[in-house]
């Protein structure tokens, strides 16, 4: 018995020696260089493939040693994009991937921003190139997959701040944002209200986007909504300047008189009814205003140049307010 006990002790000592020496080797960086290397680990990547990727990037010298060191994490590393340094040891690398200390990108979609604003934000945030975003946003197959009855993602990108790590593709990330928009319409009272107005999600987002573009104050949104609803009921054109701007695509210059007569699928001065699609991404207040207009008879409104509007029931009264506030606006510029 003592002899067998001694053998067991020797085996344990040898095992601990091998483990200790392995961990010592694993704690020594391959290089002293502080050079940064970005490594992308996609979801579903096998452990050995992760090891080979790190090895091919000059971050580790042994795939087997790397895999061995993942045992405390049960071989489960978190996918994502990692910024690693060549002076990191295998143990450092395993800990970073095991804890999921990956690069996180934030995309803030602001209410009232259109597709082109969001594309710029996506590029600045490092999520994807602006042109790639716009191609995806107008991809017919992608839109059909999401159930969007329109030409682009315009209006379907619910305003919020979203966080993205690159273990999934940009399309999956955008799909999640669109799903949040559709979720806003899942409540039974909203479905019932859309049915009462003979609206679907697309029509609701179109009107909500116009309200979003016109209103600066949340309190005015239901009143502005009422103006558009009243005009639609009477067969009047909406005459909304933001739709004209969207149709011409000239977002960085003042609207011209010739723009008002230029026919586009969005110029609501040239036809009766809603434009072809949304013109920006509206918030929940604009969506609710589109479905619940204020009980007023207004048909016109004009900006007071301070973020608020004055509303009128007839053209004569409207023209007086236009003259008053446009004159004040001109005087301020002088």
pLDDT of residue 8: 64
- Residue 303 buriedness (CB in 10 A; 0-12 / 13-18 / 19+): middle
Separation CA 276–CA 316 (nearest Å)? 30
Separation CA 48–CA 30 (nearest Å)? 19
105-137 tens-digit pLDDT: 999 999 999 999 999 999 999 999 999 999 999
Mean pLDDT value across the chain: 91
Express as a percent the part of the chain with pLDDT over 90: 79
Express as a percent the part of the chain with pLDDT over 70: 90
pLDDT of residue 332: 38
Banded model confidence at residue 28, pLDDT cuts 50, 70, 90: confident
**296 and 126 in contact (C-beta within 8 Å)?**
no
Separation CA 283–CA 215 (nearest Å)? 12
**143 and 192 in contact (C-beta within 8 Å)?**
no
Banded model confidence at residue 18, pLDDT cuts 50, 70, 90: low
Going by C-alpha positions, the residue among 302, 296, 295 that lies closest to residue 317 is: 302
Q: Domains (ranges, CATH) in the chain? A: 25-99 (3.30.1490.480), 105-183 (no CATH), 188-298 (no CATH)
296-327 tens-digit pLDDT: 999 999 999 898 999 999 999 999 999 998 76
Q: What does R_g of the chain's alpha carbons equal in angstroms?
A: 30
Convert the chain into a string of H (helix), E (strand) and C (coil): CHHHHHHHHHHHHHHHHHHHHHHHHHCCCCCCCCCEEEEEECCCCCHHHHHHHHHHCCCCCCHHHHHHHCHHHCCCCCCEEEEEECCCCHHHHHHHHHHCCCCCEEEEECCCCCHHHHHHHHHHCCCCCHHHHHHHHCCHHHHHHHCCCCCCCCCCCCCEEEEECCCCCHHHHHHHHHHHHHHCCCCHHHHHHHHHHCCCHHHHHHHHHHHHHHCCCHHHHHHHHHHHHHHHHCCCCCCCHHHHHHHHCCCCCCCCHHHHHCCCCCCCCCCCCCCCCCCCCCCHHHHHHHHCCCCCCCCEEEECCCCCEEEECCHHHHHHHHHHHHHHHHHHHC
pLDDT of residue 311: 96
Output the furthest CA–CA distance in the chain (Å, rounded).
Answer: 112
Q: At 80, list the tokens.
A: 């994502």
- Phi (first) and psi of residue 48, to 5 degrees: -65, -30
């Amino acid at each position: 018995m003592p002899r067998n006990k001694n053998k067991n002790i020797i085996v344990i000592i040898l095992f601990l020696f091998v483990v200790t020496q392995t961990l010592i080797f694993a704690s020594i960086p391959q290089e002293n260089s502080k050079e940064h290397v970005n490594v992308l680990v996609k979801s579903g990547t096998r452990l050995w493939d992760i090891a080979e990727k790190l090895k091919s990037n000059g971050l580790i010298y042994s795939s087997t040693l790397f895999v061995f060191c993942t045992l405390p994490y049960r071989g489960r590393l978190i996918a994502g994009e990692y910024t690693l340094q060549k002076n990191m040891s295998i143990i450092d690398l395993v800990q970073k991937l095991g804890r999921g200390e990956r690069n996180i990108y934030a995309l803030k979609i602001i209410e009232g921003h259109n597709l082109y604003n969001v594309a710029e934000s996506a590029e600045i945030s490092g999520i994807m190139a602006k042109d790639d975003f716009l191609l995806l946003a107008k991809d017919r197959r992608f839109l059909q997959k999401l159930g969007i009855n329109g030409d682009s993602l315009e209006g379907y990108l619910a305003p919020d701040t979203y966080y993205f790590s690159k273990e999934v593709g940009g399309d999956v990330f955008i799909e999640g944002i669109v799903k949040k928009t559709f979720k806003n319409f899942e409540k039974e009272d909203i479905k019932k209200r859309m049915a009462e107005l003979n609206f679907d999600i697309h029509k609701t987002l179109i009107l909500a986007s116009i309200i979003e573009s016109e209103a600066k104050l949340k309190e005015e949104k239901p009143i502005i909504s009422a103006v558009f609803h009243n005009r639609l009921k009477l067969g009047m054109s909406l005459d909304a300047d933001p739709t004209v701007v969207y149709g011409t695509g000239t977002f960085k210059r003042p609207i011209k008189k010739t723009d008002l007569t230029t026919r586009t699928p969005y110029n609501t001065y040239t036809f009766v009814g809603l434009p072809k699609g949304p013109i920006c991404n509206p918030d929940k207040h604009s969506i609710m205003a589109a479905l619940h207009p204020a009980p007023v008879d207004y048909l016109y409104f004009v900006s007071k140049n301070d973020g608020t509007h004055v509303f009128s029931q007839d053209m004569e009264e409207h023209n007086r307010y236009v003259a008053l506030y446009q004159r004040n606006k001109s005087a301020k510029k002088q």
